[in-house]
Structure 1
Amino acid sequence: MDVAGVLAAVAIAHFLVAVSPGPAFLVVVRSSVARTRLAGLCTAVGLAAGSTLWAVAALFGLQALFAAVPWIYSVLKLAGATYLVWIGISLWRNAGVPIRETDYPAGGAGLLAALRLGLVTQLANPKAAIFFGSIFVTMLPADPALATTVLLLLNVFLLECGWYGGLAASFSTGPVQRSYKRAKVWIDRAAGATLGAFGVKLAADR
């Protein structure tokens, strides 16, 4: 398979996983409807950066390390699960708090917080390294050229930026944000419960 074919195959497999509803979907949507479009876009960039870091780790053999030393994977998975549960509990507890009191800090600090939310949420799932490792082993040559590796990582980053950035743009429109404000308590509780469930599932999965 040539370089273009490899990139296309990886992109298709990655896209099918990215569009599946999960913690990343929830955090970028909530950042967009509860904050601003720019905050949602920063969360999207953080998510893309997190996936790219897992892809880099997979290229350097993290999947093989997990197989050789399973407790490292277990520790990372438990830490990620704890973070997701914590986010879920925070959303549930603050569901009744007006948005102005739970908003990000103004200016650059708020955008950095949004970016960090996306990054840490994506890094909370070490299964991403196993996913990338699996498709890289299947589709990449044993010793890929540097240019291929760079294009592959850029492909991962841009695909996630495009998908989650599109979600941010879609959910940060005025009508959607007004609907969110009217139903904030129930939406935040549903999002909190779902994120908590994702965390529990991550911890329980073998």
Structure 2
Amino acid sequence: MGFDIGVLLTVALMHAVAVASPGPDFAIVLKQSLQQGKKAGIWTSIGVGAGILVHVLYSLLGVGLLIQTHDWLYLGLLYVAAAYLVWIGIGALKSAPTTTQANEELNDVEARSHYPNKQSKHAFWLGFVTNGLNPKATLFFLALYSLAIPLNTYLFVKVAYGLYLAVATSLWFIFVTFLASRDRIRRIYQQKGHWFDRAMGVVIILMAILLVINQ
């Protein structure tokens, strides 16, 4: 089966509902955008989108079926993801008030046209790992490639759907980044950002707990 506009619309609708729902990806992108600036948020968003390709790959290879039929594989992924989120959350809880010098340095980095390569890579991998280890994304792609996309669909068409999902995810979170990095919001964050970081740390840890409880 070749390209089908009805299938694409179904995939797009399912994706829109999933990506707009609050979750670890949204929390990480929002935290990065406010804490590190717009460019960090963009790189994190691209990383989240790239993480989508992990789910697409194992769905195409049939690994998703193994995860679906072997509870211990799914539980292993679940606990690794939960531990990773707790680690990020604990780091956020340790956030301290920023000094005037720190704010000036943050503004200086944000104003540069070239975002430091080391920080870009860190932001990208943070988004990539957060999405790649997200067990909710695993369930979404299992449903997508077993229910929404017909099994007799050509491989290159399935790949095209996956690429669409990766690009659409990145664009959505880049949009979130631009909203979160507006000057007024950034100024508020610079004044009270440590409280936001701590609150996000609590939210991220709660997400990890809910992942385990609602398995």
Query: Common fold, TM-score beyond 0.5?
Result: yes
| 1:84 equivalent in alignment to 2:105 | no
CA offset at residue 122 of structure 1? 0.8
Tell me which moved more, 123-132 or 196-205: 123-132
Q: 1: distance between equivalents of 2:85 and 2:96?
A: 16
**Which deviations, in whole Å up to 9, do the C-alpha atoms of 1:39-73 show, x marking residues without a partner?**
11000000111122112212322332123321111
CA offset at residue 186 of structure 1? 1.4
| 1:10 equivalent in alignment to 2:15 | no
Contact 1:62 1:129 (C-alpha < 8 Å) held by counterparts:
no
One-letter amino acid matched to 1:162: L
CA offset at residue 151 of structure 1? 1.5
Partner of 2:56: 55
Q: Secondary structure at the residue paired with 1:128? A: helix
Alignment map for 1:180-195 (pairs within 5 Å): 180-195=189-204
CA offset at residue 150 of structure 1? 2.4
| 1:149 equivalent in alignment to 2:158 | yes
Alignment RMSD (CA, Å) = 2.2
One-letter amino acid matched to 1:146: L
One-letter amino acid matched to 2:181: S
- Count of residue pairs the alignment pairs up: 205
One-letter amino acid matched to 1:137: S
Partner of 2:173: 164
Cα gap change, 1:124 to 1:95, in 2 (>3 Å) = farther
CA offset at residue 203 of structure 1? 1.8
CA offset at residue 91 of structure 1? 0.2
Q: Secondary structure at the residue paired with 1:143? A: coil
Unaligned runs of 5+ in 2: 110-114
CA offset at residue 196 of structure 1? 0.3
Normalization by structure 1: what TM-score?
Answer: 0.91
Q: 2: distance between equivalents of 1:100 and 1:52?
A: 36
| 1:110 equivalent in alignment to 2:119 | yes
Q: 2: distance between equivalents of 1:84 and 1:134?
A: 24
CA offset at residue 78 of structure 1? 0.2
Q: 2: distance between equivalents of 1:129 and 1:3?
A: 24
Cα gap change, 1:16 to 1:95, in 2 (>3 Å) = farther
CA offset at residue 133 of structure 1? 1.4
| 1:65 equivalent in alignment to 2:66 | yes
Cα gap change, 1:203 to 1:95, in 2 (>3 Å) = farther
Out of 117, 128, 137, the residue aligned to residue 137 of structure 2 is 128
Contact 1:58 1:130 (C-alpha < 8 Å) held by counterparts:
no
Q: 1: distance between equivalents of 2:27 and 2:139?
A: 22
CA offset at residue 3 of structure 1? 1.6
Cα gap change, 1:200 to 1:55, in 2 (>3 Å) = same
Unaligned runs of 5+ in 1: none
Contact 2:97 2:192 (C-alpha < 8 Å) held by counterparts:
no
CA offset at residue 97 of structure 1? 5.2
Cα gap change, 1:95 to 1:59, in 2 (>3 Å) = farther
**Which deviations, in whole Å up to 9, do the C-alpha atoms of 1:130-166 show, x marking residues without a partner?**
2111122112222321331121011111110111010
Normalization by structure 2: what TM-score?
Answer: 0.87
Q: 2: distance between equivalents of 1:148 and 1:124?
A: 25
